[in-house]
Amino acid sequence: MEGEKVSRRRRSRRKNAPTDDAENPARGGQQAGSEKKPPPAQFPIVGIGASAGGLEAFTELLKHLPLDTGMGFVLVQHLDPQHESALPQLLARATSIPVSEVTNNLRVEPNHIYVIPPNTNLSLVRGVLKLQPRQAQRVPHHSVDFFFESLARDQRECAIGVILSGTANDGMVGMGAIKAEGGITFAQDDSARYDSMPRTAIAAGCVDFVLSPEHIADELARIAKHPYVAGHPPERVAPSAGEKESAAKNGFKQILLLLRNHSGVDFSLYKSNTIQRRIARRMLLNKINRPDAYANSLRGNPKELSALYADMLISVTAFFRNPAAFDVLKEKVFPKLVEQQRDQLLRVWVLGCSSGQEAYSIAMAFVEFAEQAGQARKLQLFATDVSEALLDNARAGFYAESLVHDLSLDGPYQLPQHADLSRSRRAAEGAADAPLRPQAGRVFVSRRVRVSWLGRGPVCDGGQEM
Residues classed as catalytic: 51, 78, 170
In 224-271, which residue ranges form alpha helices assigned H by DSSP? 245-263
Backbone angles phi, psi at 437, to 5 degrees: -110, 110
How many CB atoms are closer than 10 A to CB 42? 15
Largest CA distance in the chain: 73
User: Taking Cα atoms as reference points, which of 193, 148, 177, 168 lies closest to residue 400?
Assistant: 168
CA angle 134–44–294, rounded 5-degree value: 130
Backbone angles phi, psi at 121, to 5 degrees: -105, 140
Q: Which are the contacts of 214, defined by CB distance < 8 A and separation ≥ 6?
A: 60, 61, 63, 64
Q: What is d(CA 436, CA 451) in angstroms, rounded to the nearest whole number?
A: 17
Q: What is d(CA 77, CA 164) in angstroms, rounded to the nearest whole number?
A: 10
> Are the C-beta atoms of residues 282 and 289 closer than 8 Å to each other?
no
> What are residue 210's DSSP bridge partners?
187
Q: What is d(CA 182, CA 277) in angstroms, rounded to the nearest whole number?
A: 7
> Are the C-beta atoms of residues 373 and 333 closer than 8 Å to each other?
no
Q: Give the sheet arrangement for strand 120-125, strand by strand.
A: 106-107, 128-133, 120-125
Q: What is d(CA 367, CA 385) in angstroms, rounded to the nearest whole number?
A: 24
User: Taking Cα atoms as reference points, which of 211, 199, 191, 221 lies closest to residue 73?
Assistant: 221
User: Taking Cα atoms as reference points, which of 243, 246, 315 lies closest to residue 274?
Assistant: 315
Q: What share of the chain is helix, strand, coil (3-state, %, to 5)?
A: 40, 15, 45
Q: Give the E-state strand segments of 375-457 in sequence order.
A: 379-383, 413-414, 449-453
CB-based burial label for 34 (10 Å; 0-12, 13-18, 19+): exposed
How many CB atoms are closer than 10 A to CB 245? 11
- DSSP letter (8 states) at residue 286: T
The secondary structure element, H or E, covering residue 115 is strand 112-115
Backbone angles phi, psi at 403, to 5 degrees: -90, -15
Q: What is d(CA 292, CA 359) in angstroms, rounded to the nearest whole number?
A: 39
